[in-house]
Amino acid sequence: MTGKNKWMKRDLNKFKKLILEKRNSTLDSIEKARKLTDNILEGGSVNAIYSSHMADAGSDHQEREKAFYWLKREMDYLQYLDRALDMIDDGSFGVCKECGEKIPEARIIEVPHTSTCYDCKTKVK
């Protein structure tokens, strides 16, 4: 490693701050999704709204699916962000694992947990 394809410490600190911000808003989302799913499990508001309308039983089921899907997606995202933070600490963050080049900053900002550059990601194998 010549160091040419590595991010500077101050860039990494900037990315770290960005990831921590995303992590905080993800934790908020998880909290909200949890409340919603808890509510559904306890037969709360969603059931109460629909129970008097037999025709809407399907929607109730859909709402439930949606809430659980949302919760799962946010929890997966949290794991990705945690992994990205680990990668910042061990120095492998922001470098494409396929071609070894630095991942463009715009892509990192958009998808901070990515480990491949756009070209490698979209390359047909």
Beta carbon of residue 77, minimum distance to Zn ion (angstroms, whole number): 22
Beta carbon of residue 99, minimum distance to Zn ion (angstroms, whole number): 3
Locate 39 and state its tokens: 């509510």
Beta strands in 24-98 (DSSP E): none
Closer CB to Zn ion, residue 37 or residue 114?
114
Beta carbon of residue 47, minimum distance to Zn ion (angstroms, whole number): 49
- From 44, 46, 67, 42, select the one nearest 57 (Cα to Cα): 46
- For 5, 65, 78, 90, the CA distances from 24, given in Å and listed in that order, are 29, 24, 9, 22
Closer CB to Zn ion, residue 96 or residue 108?
96
Closer CB to Zn ion, residue 75 or residue 111?
111
* Cβ atoms within 10 Å of 46's Cβ, excluding its own: 20
Residues that bind Zn ion (CB under 5 A): 96, 98-99, 117, 120
Closer CB to Zn ion, residue 61 or residue 123?
123
Rounded to whole angstroms, the Cα distance separating 38 from 103 reads 40
Beta carbon of residue 112, minimum distance to Zn ion (angstroms, whole number): 16
Angle at 69 between CA 20 and CA 48, to 5 degrees: 115
